[in-house]
Amino acid sequence: MIISRPSRDGDRHVLYITNLHLTNFRNYAEVDLPLERGLNLFVGENAQGKSNLLEAIYLLSTLRSSRASSDSDLVRRDVFDSEFPVARLQTEVQRAAGRLNLEVAVVGRSGESQRAGKRVRVNGLPKRTSDAVGELAAVLFTTLDIEVVAGPPILRRRYLDMMASQVDRGYLRAMQRYQRVLQQRNGLLKRIQARDAAPSELGFWNQELSHAGGIIMKGRADALGLLMPYACEQMGRLSDDVETINLTYKPALGDAVEDHLPIDEAEWTSRMLQALNDGRPREIGAGVTLFGPHRDDVEVLIDGLPAASFASRAQLRTAALSLRFAEAAYLQTCLGDEPVVLLDDVLSELDEQRRRGVLESFEIFQQVIVTTADPDRVRDVLTSATGRFVVTGGAIGRFEGE
Ligand code: ATP
Ligand code: MG
C-alpha cells in the first residue's frame, strides 16, 4: 500500500478511541465502554446491538447515520415517548494533536423546550454539525458494500460524498446549497411547464446551481483521482494480482461531456452552465433538473468489464473491500490522522486467505473494531484481538470464551 507506515509508538498519525459512552442510543440504555488501541472484537448473537455500536461510532465521525433512517430512529424506543427523547453519544479520542472529546445529542422529537435534530460539542464547545464532521475519522465496512460496486448510482455518489465532505467543509456546504437550489429550480421548472412562470427566470438559478455543482464535480473528480491507485493496489493485493479494478467518473452533463474532464472549478461550473442552457427545452418538458451532480455516476470495471453485469460474487466482494480500503487511505492522506476502521460482520463471509489479506492490510491502522456473530469462523481474529467483548441485548461485557 502506498500510504506511509506510521510507527506504532508514535506520534504523527495516532488516532484511536479510548472510551465510548452511549445513553438511550438504539437498544443501548446506557453503556460505558473502554476501548483498546489495536484490534477490538465484539462477539454477539443476531439482533443484540453489534451494528448499532458501530453505527454510533460512525455517527460520531460523520454526523450521519450509516443506515438510512431519521434521527428519531436512533433514540431508544422506551424513552421515545418520554418528555425528553434524547440519545447521547460521547467519545474520548487520542489524536496526534491531543485529546478530543466529542459529544452528540440526538433529539428525537420536537417539544416545548427542544427542537428535533443533532447537537454537537467538540471539547465542550458547541459546534455546527458541518464543522464537526471528520474530527474523528472513521471508515465503516459492511456486508452491504457490494451495493456500492454493483448497485444504483446514488450509492456511488454517496460513497464519494461521505469521503469528500469529511476532509473538505467547503464541499459539504456546497452539497447543502446544491440541494436547496435544486429544489427551488425544480419548482420553477414545473411552474414554467404549467406556464405560470417565464423561462427567463431560470437564468439566476442556473448560475446558482452551476456554481455549487462545479465545486461538487471538481471535488468528486479529485477524490476519485486520489482513490484510484489505492483501490487498484488493494484489489491486486486481495486477489494475488489476478483481478483489476477501474473507476471512471461519469458526470451528468448531457452533450456538454467532452473527451477530457475539466481541471479547475471554474471550468466545471461553465461546463455545467452550458449543459443547463443547452438542455433547457428538455428540462422544461421533463419539469425536473436533468443535468448536474445529483445524476452523476462512477463506472466500475472489474477485469475490464462492467461490474454490475459481469462480476462474480467474490469479485464484487473484493472490489467492495478495495473501495473501503481506498477510502481509509484517502482519509489518512487528506487528514493526516489515521481513520478508525470499523468492520461490521464482513470477515466471517471471507475465506481464510482473503481474511488474512484483509487483516494484514489493517496492521498499519491504529485501531480496528470488528464485529461477528460467529467467533468460530474468525478464530484468527479472536486470538490476536487486544480487546474482546460480548454484546447481549444492548449490554456489553468482556468476552471470556475461547
Ligand atoms: P446481526 O448479527 O443480525 O447483524 P446486530 O447485533 O448487529 O445483529 P443490531 O442491528 O445492532 O444487531 O441491533 C438490532 C437490535 O436493536 C434489534 O433488536 C432492534 O430492534 C434494536 N433497535 C434498533 N433501533 C432501536 C431503537 N431505537 N430502540 C430500541 N431498540 C432498537
Ligand atoms: Mg449487524
How many Å lie between the centroid of ligand 2 and the Cα of residue 46? 7
Q: Is there a contact between 335 and 167 (Cβ–Cβ < 8 Å)?
A: yes
Regarding the beta carbon of 218 and ligand 1, being less than 6 Å apart is answered: no
Regarding the beta carbon of 50 and ligand 1, being less than 6 Å apart is answered: yes
Cell of 149: 460496486
| Average pLDDT rounded to a whole number, residues 187-213 | 97
Residue with the three cell numbers 473501503: 324
Nearest atom, ligand 1, residue 53 CA: 11
Regarding the beta carbon of 373 and ligand 1, being less than 6 Å apart is answered: yes
How many Å lie between the centroid of ligand 1 and the Cα of residue 352? 28
Partners of 95 in beta bridges: 15, 98
Summary mean pLDDT of the chain: 91
pLDDT(11) > 60 = no
pLDDT(308) > 90 = yes
**Which of 24, 46, 50, 52 is the pocket-test mutation for ligand 1 (most atoms within 8 Å of CB)?**
52
Cell of 67: 443506515
Residue 8: what pLDDT? 41
Alpha carbon 130 to its chain centroid, in Å, reads 14
Regarding the beta carbon of 77 and ligand 1, being less than 6 Å apart is answered: yes
How many Å lie between the centroid of ligand 1 and the Cα of residue 341? 21
Strand order of the β-sheet with 245-250 is: 245-250, 297-302, 305-306
In this structure, which residue's CA is closest to atom 2 in ligand 1? 46
pLDDT(79) > 50 = yes
**Which of 27, 81, 344 is the pocket-test mutation for ligand 1 (most atoms within 8 Å of CB)?**
27
- Please report, as a single letter, which amino acid is at residue 130: S
pTM across the whole model: 0.91
Q: Could you give the CA distance from residue 208 to residue 185 in angstroms, rounded to a whole number?
A: 10
**Which of 30, 42, 50 is the pocket-test mutation for ligand 1 (most atoms within 8 Å of CB)?**
50
Three-class SS state of 286? helix
Regarding the beta carbon of 70 and ligand 1, being less than 6 Å apart is answered: no
In this structure, which residue's CA is closest to atom 17 in ligand 1? 47
Of 5-9, 246-250, 331-335, the one with minimum mean pLDDT is 5-9
Which is more confidently placed, 182 or 377? 182
How many Å lie between the centroid of ligand 1 and the Cα of residue 47? 5
Cell of 386: 487486544
How many Å lie between the centroid of ligand 2 and the Cα of residue 106? 21
Q: Could you give the CA distance from residue 391 to residue 383 in angstroms, rounded to a whole number?
A: 18
| Average pLDDT rounded to a whole number, residues 316-331 | 95
The ligand with the least distance to the CA atom of 85 is 1
251-279: pLDDT as tens digits: 999 876 667 888 899 999 999 999 999 99
Cell of 45: 448473537
In this structure, which residue's CA is closest to atom 30 in ligand 1? 27
Question: Within 13 Å, how many C-alpha atoms sit on residue 317's CB side?
Answer: 16
Q: Is there a contact between 268 and 218 (Cβ–Cβ < 8 Å)?
A: yes
**Res. 316 pLDDT band, cuts 50 70 90:** very high
Nearest atom, ligand 1, residue 55 CA: 11
* Cα separation values, 311 from 237, 305, 321, 357, 394, Å: 18, 8, 14, 20, 38
The ligand with the least distance to the CA atom of 392 is 1
Cell of 46: 443476531
